[in-house]
């Protein structure tokens, strides 16, 4: 797909390098060092983990530049940071600071309720969340070089990540069964660019890596989304909201690599203490959901 | 060797762009399998250490006994090819910061030496012994080879810096040939397996 697009080759290329790994949310240089030491492939710098954003409320914005710089200086692995949906100036600032990936994220309070950032105009790569194939392809159409299927961030509950990962893989399988003349109507239904719909119909997968995020709290959760087709995992509140961050981080890293080997996932599960408590997503009010942000 | 006697290359799949190497080996037309455990090295005739995060790979090496297994594999004279993070793993000395390594190729490698992702680039370099065309080289948060020891041959350069080196059966690239459509470098590595590959 990107043979003749050097910019996308570099952006998607970095996402390829992260496959099979764990990207961890961190809020300080100290947490970033713990994550790197545990084997994280990258860290996501943010001001508050989603569980705290959920609890404390208020407007959630891009992290403080001072903290992002401290994190960048503390580790040698790639550093990502979140910008608000549609807030292209936060993205410009993060690019100027030199972060390695920008997450245009529904976890922060959206800055634009109609438009996402025009990601093609940036040199730094973007990852975006998606709950279904149409949303994923719209983001790729805007220039996202990595998709993370959304869970319900900060819930410690895997149910939404599973729902959306299954939805996207099911929709892609379905596309491969369609005849060529059916693809235009399908593109209209999905609200997605026709060229990307055609590409997925031909290849049965997204043209960029597809990672999973939101609600992953245990080694078994990580192995579950990997078996369902995720190519790497983001872990947010699940690590630093647990009783034993370093040990849990290490165990989730190992379970992600060996996701198909129950004996190893069992060893990883035995090593960890108590997981974050988690919440029943079905008991949340519709307006409390973070996953519905993004259009 | 696989059951039908054809040679196969193992691709280290702890983490990283192992799938892109698999795609390239398909194009070259050689068998491959993913390597996640030391025991997976039995029955493969060569090994690729892919791009990714060298720090993550090192953490998982320790728990799987993989470092010793790879050194033994090299000691048997079997070919190994490392790209980017894989090249860092093969070096005898690593800078920025110093870290564990396999120490199989006598060279000093500086991590992230071009800068951050924003400084990543696609360039065309020269590999005069391998190809008479400029070779597309994708550098992603790439390392730089600061020193090569005696017995290490520089096969490729970009902007004057060595980017592809060889020491006997070992090959290391600071860039990602697996992210391009150019099979030159993988073909060169596969030729190291000898006949009937």
Helix (H, G, I), strand (E, B) or coil at B189: helix
Local confidence pLDDT in tens for the 197 residues of chain B: 555 568 999 999 999 999 999 999 999 999 999 999 999 999 999 999 999 999 999 999 887 889 999 999 999 999 999 999 999 999 999 999 999 999 999 999 999 999 999 999 999 999 999 999 999 999 999 999 999 999 999 999 999 999 999 999 999 999 999 999 999 999 999 999 986 44
Cβ distance of A76 and B18 shorter than 8 Å: no
CB A100 within 8 A of CB A75: no
Which residue is closest to A6 within chain B, CA to CA?
B122
To the question of domain B8-191 being in CATH 3.40.50.880, the answer is: yes
Contact criterion met (CB < 8 Å) for A6 and B18:
no
Two structure tokens written together for B191:
């030729």
Q: Is the peptide bond before A138 cis (omega within 30 degrees of 0)?
A: no
Assembly ipTM: 0.95
Query: Of B1, A138, A163, which is closest to residue A149 (Cα–Cα)?
Result: A163
Q: What is the pTM of this model?
A: 0.95
CB atoms A95 and B118 under 8 Å: yes
Shortest Cα distance from A210 to chain B (angstroms)?
A: 13
Q: Which residues of A touch B63 (CB under 8 A)?
A: 254
Question: In sequence order, what are the residues at sequence separation of 6 or more whose Cβ sits closer than 8 angstroms to the Cβ of residue A266?
Answer: none
Tell whether B165 is within 8 A of chain A (Cβ). no
Domain locations along chain B: 8-191
Of A10, A77, A254, the CB nearest to B55: A77
- A 10 A CB-CB count for A285 gives 6
CB B52 to CB A21 under 8 A? Answer: yes
Interface touch A95/B120, C-beta < 8 Å? no
Catalytic member of B84, B110, B166, B186: B84
| Spatial separation of the C-alpha atoms in residues A226 and A169, rounded to whole Å | 12
* Total beta-carbon pairs less than 8 A apart between chain A and chain B: 107
CA distance B179 to B24: 8
CB B51 within 8 A of CB B13: no
């Amino acid at each position: 797909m990107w043979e003749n697009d050097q910019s996308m080759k570099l952006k998607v290329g970095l996402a390829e390098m992260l496959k099979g790994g764990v990207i961890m949310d961190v809020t300080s240089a100290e947490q970033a060092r713990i994550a790197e030491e545990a084997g994280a492939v990258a860290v996501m710098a943010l001001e508050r983990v989603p569980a705290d954003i959920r609890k404390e409320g208020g407007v959630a914005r891009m992290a403080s530049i001072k903290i992002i710089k401290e994190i960048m200086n503390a580790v040698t692995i790639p550093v990502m940071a979140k910008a608000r949906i549609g807030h292209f100036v936060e993205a410009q600032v993060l690019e100027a600071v030199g972060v390695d990936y920008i997450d245009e994220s529904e976890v922060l309070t959206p800055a634009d309720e109609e438009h996402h950032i025009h990601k093609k105009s940036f040199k730094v790569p973007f990852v975006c969340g998606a709950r279904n194939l149409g949303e994923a392809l719209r983001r790729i159409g805007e220039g996202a070089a990595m998709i993370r299927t959304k869970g319900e961030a900060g819930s410690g509950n895997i149910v939404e990540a599973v729902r959306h990962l299954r939805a996207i893989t099911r929709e892609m399988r379905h596309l491969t069964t369609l005849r060529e003349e059916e693809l235009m109507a399908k593109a209209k239904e999905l609200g997605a660019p026709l060229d990307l719909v055609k590409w997925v119909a031909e290849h049965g997968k997204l043209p960029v890596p597809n990672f999973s995020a939101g609600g992953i709290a245990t080694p078994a959760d990580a192995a579950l989304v990997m078996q369902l087709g995720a190519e790497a995992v983001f872990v947010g509140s699940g690590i630093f909201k647990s009783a034993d961050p370093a040990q849990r981080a290490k165990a989730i890293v190992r379970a992600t690599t060996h996701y198909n080997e129950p004996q190893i996932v069992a060893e990883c599960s035995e090593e960890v203490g108590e997981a974050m408590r988690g919440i029943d997503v079905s008991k949340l009010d519709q307006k409390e959901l973070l996953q519905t942000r993004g259009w | 060797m696989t059951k039908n006697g054809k040679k196969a290359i193992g691709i280290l799949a702890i983490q990283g762009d192992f799938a892109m190497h698999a795609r390239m080996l398909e194009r070259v037309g050689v068998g491959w399998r993913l390597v996640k455990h030391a025991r997976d090295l039995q029955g493969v005739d060569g090994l690729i250490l892919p791009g990714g995060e060298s720090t993550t790979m090192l953490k998982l090496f320790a728990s799987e006994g993989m470092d010793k297994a790879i050194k033994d594999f090299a000691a048997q004279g079997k070919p190994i090819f490392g790209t980017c993070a894989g090249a860092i793993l093969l070096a005898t000395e690593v800078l920025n910061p110093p870290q564990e390594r396999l120490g199989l190729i006598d060279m000093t490698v500086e991590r992230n030496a071009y800068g951050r992702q924003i400084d990543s680039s696609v360039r065309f370099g020269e590999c005069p012994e391998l190809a008479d065309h400029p070779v597309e080289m994708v550098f992603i948060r790439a390392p730089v080879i600061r020193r090569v020891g005696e017995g290490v041959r520089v096969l490729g350069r970009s902007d004057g810096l060595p980017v592809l080196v060889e020491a006997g059966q070992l090959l290391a690239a600071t860039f990602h040939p697996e992210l391009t459509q150019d099979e030159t470098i993988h073909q060169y590595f596969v030729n190291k397996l000898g006949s009937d590959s």
